[in-house]
């Protein structure tokens, strides 16, 4: 070992083993922030044995087209720098397919029909079938009135769902459209411009400043190339590229020009992998649809029990005629299902979407509003989302080493920057002045040397107008600049500089050194009196102004925020510290390797839950993080702005594209923000929770009405052989749902914790309310039929039989009034009069009651066997309902204090036991658990897809699971395998 090799310690001190001569000094290596460079490797196969099996030759364990030397790339792809011939290119195009992303087309007719395949629709369809096909009997025609009403409601619901889904953004199409439409390629030894879709592996391509890289490639020539790949990888800084480096399809050339060999196209590119992840595990059965399915199943079971009971009692016991018994069954089918529930909830969500639009949040999938209310974890991209994606000089961290102040250092650094055609660093330096005109004010430019990859610095020579002196300033990489500083370079200064650079690097800040010298005479090319180091600037991507407040607000709402970024760990930690998010973050490799043995985390899930964020992640990593959190029962929101975020945006329960996002991100997202910053997300969360409360209130009401109708009319039929007209049940449903639609603008308060659908609680409330209202109707009918109370006290004429048309009208009015009044109890947490309803709800209620009373007073509809009643009976029904309405609040309080309280305590114990057993904070919601209800609803997906395959509608593009892995292994394997099976005719 030479003296030079062993003379310097880790920080430049002399080695105690062998002192170095005074005239020999080792050049320091400043550990500046940046990527660790990976040296190219060789393929682990004998390249001359090309006849080996392709599967062995292109196994990633032996060869990786991303990292092997370029010479081996040419050999593996059987091409050279002269490019491919036209015939060979066409042959490879047939083998590999076009350089574009495929998309799945769905047949519109089947898509529309799919919305009629769920438990809610099944009951509606069953009722329609009974009304039109099975009602023939007793000399009576089919029940056309009920049939038409049910079919119209079915079509309305399906149309709304179809319209929403058909107009949702297509993420894959947006990704495809982002590819460069044209590419410069060498074919037959000549450069020509072709459609980028026609590129194939082995093509030689060329691009320059402003161009989009058309395919993944390895550079064979590079002249001062800088690539912006923030939208793909999340890296906030443009990356300098040299010969042998890889460039990603879809990234933008910000500086220089280059040539390269294409190593992957289409779905096999880094960009294509992101597209293949979008919708890969597409949860076709949406979150709200699962809730609707379970509510539908509850109604279905309730109806089924009493339909069977009526069949046994009415036919076997009472010996009813076919048509009479069928009409009673039809009452249960029509009245038991909340027919307009999908419509009511859709209107509620649509109105909510309009309200969110006022806060500059465009909702592209309205059911995402419901899921946003239950979000427990917000995963956020950093670059362009939490931060501005604009490099900035951190003035508070500027280090000075000479007689100049921090402001002077910035001014001199701005002198040494371009004022036009700026790169990102020059833009940040000049921008730090505040007034950019100062970058050339008071000086006369004599000579300027822009940045280049060899010198790695910029330099300006200028005349100071006030003094007439010639001066020179340079800025650039620390190691380069300090070597130029002959005037003040000392061991003490170098030690201090090295310490500052290491501190910056540990915080993810890029260091930019600035040096200054003066010139004697008037020759701008003359040597100066020697550079002196005057300052060190820290460059970083700053957080948005409102991000910290947004995170604090989200935490206050019970939503935990995690940073998931493609940038480096040091940058992620620094950003986390500045935002108060925390710096407990991990590199992406832990997602593959798992937690270190002996650490505080027992498994990967525990680590993901505990972490404040992850850095250096690829699209599939973000996707995996979201998927694992969902597997633990959490509802996840994901924010992002780039194509690299699209897979996770698509997978998340709620994908949020921030302002300025790429088309790919907007297409994959459920909510698109149209103004800078994340504060809109907090408005959206609060707004979604208001909407959730409205939907929950309606769900309790709808289920209660189901119990009330089914149980009530079954008991009346059993006890009094009472036959209620089916058409009047449809009228009740229409009036009720018309009123309830105004819940979409009702006044409610958002909860301060994430909402979740506790269906057991909803069903419990519904059963209690339903049975109580059933008692109110049965008691009224019993008094009318078995006593003369109302005749004796009020002088009204009482119906004489159980199927008197006037009794039908009395029951209709009583059921219609108190059923609608129930909403005032279900919408409030305390006494109903303590929470003021909206004017719309109150007005709709009054109108509906007026209509019901007018029908009762004047309708004599023979086709449905009802007859108008007197004003006395209308008054009796109103008073009767008011008396029975008042105790409903006390029933609610009693339920909360007994059954509901015990249910919540049992649920809390179960969650605590699960957490103690697994060591994980698992948040299970009723709606996320796998259940028979969910699988029933999912059947519509498999059913429709099977039908599509059988009749040959549309085309289906599938993505194989292995394509979700890192590109290199798949691309290398496929390239080798296909070329081996089809030897190149142009290969040497």
Question: Are 473 and 416 contacting, i.e. CB atoms less than 8 angstroms apart?
Answer: yes
Measured between alpha carbons, how far is residue 852 from residues 138, 813, 819, 857 in Å?
31, 6, 12, 9
Last residue of a domain, one of 506, 540, 574: 540
Determine whether 317 is exposed, middle or buried from the number of CB atoms within 10 Å of its CB (0-12, 13-18, 19+). Answer: exposed
- Residue 381 lies inside a defined structural domain of this protein: yes
On whether both 880 and 734 belong to a single domain, the answer is yes
Determine contact, residues 36/506, Cβ cutoff 8 Å.
no
Locate the DSSP E strands across 135-215.
Answer: 182-187, 190-195, 204-208
Highest mean pLDDT among 375-379, 516-520, 652-656, 875-879: 875-879
Range 135-162 average pLDDT: 71
605 and 522 in a common domain:
no
In a domain, 765, yes or no: yes
Residues that are catalytic: 381
Residues 491, 464 share a domain: yes
The answer on pLDDT for 530 being more than 70 is yes
Residue 969 has pLDDT above 50, yes or no: no
pLDDT digits (tens, 9 = 90+) for 375-421: 999 998 787 778 877 888 888 888 998 788 888 899 999 999 888 77
% of residues, the chain, pLDDT over 90: 17
Q: What is the pLDDT of residue 231?
A: 61
> What is the separation, in whole angstroms, between the first and last Cα of the chain?
46
Phi, psi of 654 (to 5 degrees): -135, 110
Q: How far apart are CA 360 and CA 672, in angstroms?
A: 8
C-alpha distances (whole Å) from 162 to each of 110, 167, 168, 354 are 10, 8, 10, 19
333 and 461 co-located in one domain: no
- Residue ranges in 58-143 assigned as alpha helix (H): 70-77, 86-96, 108-114, 119-129
Predicted local distance difference test score (pLDDT) of residue 830: 85
950 Cβ partners below 8 Å, 6+ apart? none
| Mean pLDDT calculated for residue range 91-102 | 79
CB 635 within 8 A of CB 376: yes
- Phi and psi of 447, rounded to 5°? -160, 140
User: What mean pLDDT comes out for the span 176-200?
Assistant: 78
Per-residue pLDDT at 958: 35
- Degrees to nearest 5, angle at CA 311 with 310 and 316: 110
Contact status, residue 407 vs residue 238, Cβ threshold 8 Å? no
| One domain, residues 344 and 401 | no
**How many CA atoms within 13 Å lie on the side-chain side of 499?**
7
Tell me the per-residue pLDDT of 907-917, one tens digit each, with 9 for 90 and over.
Answer: 778 777 766 66
The encoded tokens of residue 400 equal 């000075």
pLDDT band at 947 (very low <50, low <70, confident <90, very high): very low
Q: Assign residue 423 the CATH number of its domain.
A: 3.40.1110.10
79 in Cβ contact with 261 (< 8 Å)? yes
User: Dihedral, CA atoms, 561, 566, 569, 571, nearest 10 degrees?
Assistant: -80
CATH number for the domain spanning 828: value is 1.20.1110.10
Is pLDDT at 183 greater than 90 in this prediction? no
- For residue 507, pLDDT beyond 90: no
For 675-716, how does the pLDDT look when each residue is reduced to its tens digit (9 = 90+)?
Answer: 776 778 888 888 889 888 888 888 898 899 999 999 999 999
DSSP state of 133: I
| pLDDT at residue 274, as a whole number | 65
633 is a domain residue: yes
The answer to whether 205 and 217 have CB atoms below 8 angstroms apart is yes
Kindly state whether residues 520 and 494 are assigned to the same domain: yes
Burial of 308 from C-beta contacts in 10 A (0-12 / 13-18 / 19+): exposed
Planar angle of CA 225, 231, 232, nearest 5 degrees: 80
Pick the more confident residue, 740 or 559: 559
More confident residue, 542 or 811: 811
- Name the domain boundary from 622, 643, 674: 674
Calculate mean pLDDT across residues 731-741: 80
> Looking at 338-347, 470-479, 569-578, 957-966, which range is the least confident one?
957-966
Using the 3D structure, point to which of 525, 540, 555 is the last residue of a domain: 540
Q: Are residues 437 and 559 in the same domain?
A: no
Question: Are 667 and 710 in the same domain?
Answer: no
pLDDT digits (tens, 9 = 90+) for 635-649: 899 987 776 677 788
CA angle 857-863-868, nearest 5°? 15
> What integer pLDDT is reported at residue 179 of this predicted model?
40
Q: Which domain holds residue 382?
A: 361-388+544-674
Asked whether the CA dihedral 329, 335, 336, 337 is positive or negative, the reply is positive
Weakest mean pLDDT among 46-60, 607-621, 790-804? 46-60
pLDDT in tens, 318-344: 888 877 888 888 888 878 877 667 667
Integer Rg of the chain from CA: 37
Q: Would you say residue 354 has pLDDT above 60? A: yes
Q: Give the pLDDT of residue 71.
A: 84
In this structure, the answer to whether residues 786 and 670 fall within a common structural domain is: no
| Between residues 934 and 838, the one the model is more confident about | 838
In a domain, 811, yes or no: yes
205: confidence class by pLDDT, cuts 50, 70, 90: very high
Q: What is the pLDDT of residue 601?
A: 77
* pTM of the predicted structure, to 2 decimals: 0.67
- Percent of the chain whose predicted confidence (pLDDT) is above 70: 77
Please check whether residue 313 lies inside any domain of the structure: yes
Q: Please state the rounded mean pLDDT for residues 855-865.
A: 86
Is residue 872 scored above 90 in pLDDT? yes
Q: What share of the chain is helix, strand, coil (3-state, %, to 5)?
A: 50, 15, 35
| Structural domain contains residue 935 | no
Residue 800 lies in a domain: yes
Distance (Å, rounded) from C-alpha 19 to C-alpha 16? Answer: 6
Residue 735 in contact with residue 705, Cβ under 8 Å? no
**Same-domain check for residues 507 and 460:** yes
Residue 43 to residue 37: CA distance in whole angstroms: 19
Q: State pLDDT tens for residues 139-151.
A: 667 777 778 877 8
Greater model confidence, 314 or 506: 314
Report yes or no: 532 and 402 within 8 Å, Cβ to Cβ. yes
- Split into its structural domains, the chain has a count of 3
pLDDT band at 879 (very low <50, low <70, confident <90, very high): very high
Q: Bigger pLDDT: 145 or 445?
A: 445
Residue 887 placed within a domain: yes
Round the average pLDDT of the chain to a whole number and report it.
77
Q: Is the domain of 493 the same as that of 462?
A: yes
**Average pLDDT in the 873-887 region?**
95
What distance in Å separates the CA atoms of residue 808 and residue 868, rounded to the nearest whole number?
10
Of 171-175, 481-485, 488-492, least confident by mean pLDDT is 171-175
Whether the pLDDT of residue 19 is over 60: the answer is no
Q: Which of 275, 380, 957 is nearest to 646 (CA)?
A: 275
469 and 377 fall within a common domain: no
Most confident of 43-47, 107-111, 138-142, 260-264: 260-264
Given pLDDT bands bounded at 50, 70 and 90, which one contains residue 924?
A: very low
């Amino acid at each position: 070992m030479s003296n030079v090799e062993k003379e310097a310690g880790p920080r430049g001190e002399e080695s105690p083993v062998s002192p170095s001569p005074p005239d020999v000094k080792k050049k320091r290596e400043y550990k500046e922030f940046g990527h660790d460079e990976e040296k190219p490797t060789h393929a682990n196969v004998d390249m001359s044995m090309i006849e080996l099996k392709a599967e062995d030759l292109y196994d990633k364990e032996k060869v990786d087209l991303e990292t092997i030397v370029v010479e081996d790339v040419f050999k593996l792809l059987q091409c050279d720098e002269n490019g491919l011939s036209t015939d060979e290119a066409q042959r490879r195009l047939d083998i590999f397919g076009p350089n574009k992303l495929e998309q799945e087309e769905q047949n519109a007719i089947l898509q529309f029909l799919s919305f009629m395949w769920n438990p809610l629709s099944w009951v509606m369809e069953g009722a329609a079938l009974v009304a039109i096909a099975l009602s023939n009997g007793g000399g009576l025609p089919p029940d056309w009135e009920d049939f038409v009403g049910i079919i119209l409601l079915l079509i309305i619901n399906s149309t709304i769902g179809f319209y929403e889904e058909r107009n949702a953004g297509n993420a894959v199409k947006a990704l495809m459209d982002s590819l460069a439409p044209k590419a410069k390629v060498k074919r037959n030894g000549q450069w020509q411009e072709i459609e980028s879709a026609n590129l194939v592996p082995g093509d030689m391509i060329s691009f320059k400043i402003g161009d989009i890289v058309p395919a993944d490639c390895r550079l064979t020539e590079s002249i001062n190339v800088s690539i912006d790949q923030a939208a793909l990888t999340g890296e906030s800084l443009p990356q300098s590229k040299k010969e042998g480096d890889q460039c990603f399809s879809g990234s933008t050339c910000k500086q220089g020009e280059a040539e390269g060999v294409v190593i992957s196209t289409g779905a096999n590119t880094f960009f294509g992998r992101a597209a293949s992840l979008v919708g890969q595990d597409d949860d076709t059965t949406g979150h709200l649809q699962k809730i609707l399915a379970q509510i539908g199943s509850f109604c279905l079971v309730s109806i089924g029990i009493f339909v069977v009971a009526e069949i046994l009692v009415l036919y076997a016991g009472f010996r009813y005629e076919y048509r009479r018994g069928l009409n009673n069954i039809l009452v249960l089918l029509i009245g038991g299902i909340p027919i307009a529930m999908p419509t009511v909830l859709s209107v509620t969500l649509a109105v909510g979407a309009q309200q969110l639009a006022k806060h500059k949040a465009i909702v592209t999938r309205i059911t995402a509003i419901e899921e946003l209310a239950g979000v427990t974890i917000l995963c956020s991209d950093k670059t362009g989302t939490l931060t501005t994606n604009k490099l900035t000089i951190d003035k508070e961290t500027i280090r000075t080493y000479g007689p100049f102040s921090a402001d002077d250092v910035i001014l001199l650094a701005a002198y040494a920057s371009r004022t036009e055609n700026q790169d990102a660093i020059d833009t940040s330096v000049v921008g730090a002045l505040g007034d950019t005109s100062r970058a050339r004010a008071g000086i006369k430019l004599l000579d300027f040397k822009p940045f280049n990859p060899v010198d790695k610095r910029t330099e300006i020579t200028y005349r100071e107008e006030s003094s007439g002196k010639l001066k020179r300033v340079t800025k650039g990489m620390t190691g380069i600049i300090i070597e130029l500083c002959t005037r003040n370079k000392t061991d003490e200064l170098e030690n201090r500089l090295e310490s500052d650079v290491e501190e910056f690097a540990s915080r993810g800040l890029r260091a930019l050194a600035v040096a200054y010298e003066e010139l004697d005479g008037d020759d701008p090319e003359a040597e100066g009196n020697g550079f002196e180091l005057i300052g060190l600037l820290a460059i970083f991507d700053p957080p948005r102004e409102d991000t910290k407040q947004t995170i604090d607000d989200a935490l206050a709402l019970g939503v935990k925020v995690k940073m998931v970024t493609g940038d480096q760990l040091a940058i992620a930690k620094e950003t986390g510290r500045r935002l108060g998010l925390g710096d407990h973050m991990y590199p992406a490799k832990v997602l593959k390797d798992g937690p270190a043995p002996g650490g505080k985390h027992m498994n990967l899930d525990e680590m993901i839950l505990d972490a404040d964020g992850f850095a250096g992640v690829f699209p599939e990593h973000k996707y995996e993080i979201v998927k694992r959190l969902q597997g633990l029962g959490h509802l996840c929101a994901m924010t992002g702005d780039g194509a690299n975020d699209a897979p996770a945006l698509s997978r998340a329960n709620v994908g949020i594209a921030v302002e300025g996002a790429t088309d790919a991100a907007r297409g994959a997202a459920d909510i698109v923000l149209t103004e800078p910053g994340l504060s809109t997300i907090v408005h959206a969360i609060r707004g979604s929770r208001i909407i959730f409360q409205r939907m929950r209130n309606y769900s309790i009401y709808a289920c209660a009405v189901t119990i009330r109708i089914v149980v009530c009319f079954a008991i009346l039929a059993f006890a009094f052989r009472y036959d209620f007209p089916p058409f009047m049940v449809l009228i009740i449903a229409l009036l009720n749902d018309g009123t309830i639609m105004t819940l979409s603008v009702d006044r409610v308060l958002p909860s301060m914790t994430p909402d979740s659908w506790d269906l057991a609680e909803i069903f419990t409330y519904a059963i209690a309310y339903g049975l109580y209202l059933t008692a109110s109707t049965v008691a009224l009918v019993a008094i009318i039929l078995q006593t003369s109370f109302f005749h004796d006290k009020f002088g009204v004429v009482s119906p004489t039989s159980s199927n008197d048309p006037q009794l039908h009208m009395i029951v209709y009015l009583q059921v219609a009034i108190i059923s609608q009044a129930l909403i005032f109890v279900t919408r409030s947490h305390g006494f109903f009069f303590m929470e003021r309803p909206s004017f719309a709800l109150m007005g709709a209620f009054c109108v509906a009651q007026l209509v019901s009373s007018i029908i009762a007073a004047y309708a004599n509809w023979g086709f449905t066997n009802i007859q108008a009643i007197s004003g006395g009976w209308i008054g009796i029904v109103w008073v009767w309902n008011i008396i029975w309405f008042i105790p409903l609040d006390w029933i609610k309080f009693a339920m909360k204090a007994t059954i509901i309280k015990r249910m919540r305590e049992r649920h809390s114990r179960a969650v605590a036991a699960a957490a103690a057993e697994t060591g994980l904070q698992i948040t299970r919601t009723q709606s996320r658990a796998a259940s028979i209800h969910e699988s029933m609803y999912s059947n519509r997906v498999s059913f429709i897809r099977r039908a599509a395959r059988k009749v040959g509608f549309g085309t289906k593009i599938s993505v194989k699971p292995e394509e979700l892995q890192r590109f290199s292994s798949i691309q290398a394997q496929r390239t080798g395998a296909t070329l081996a099976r089809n030897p190149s005719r142009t290969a040497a």
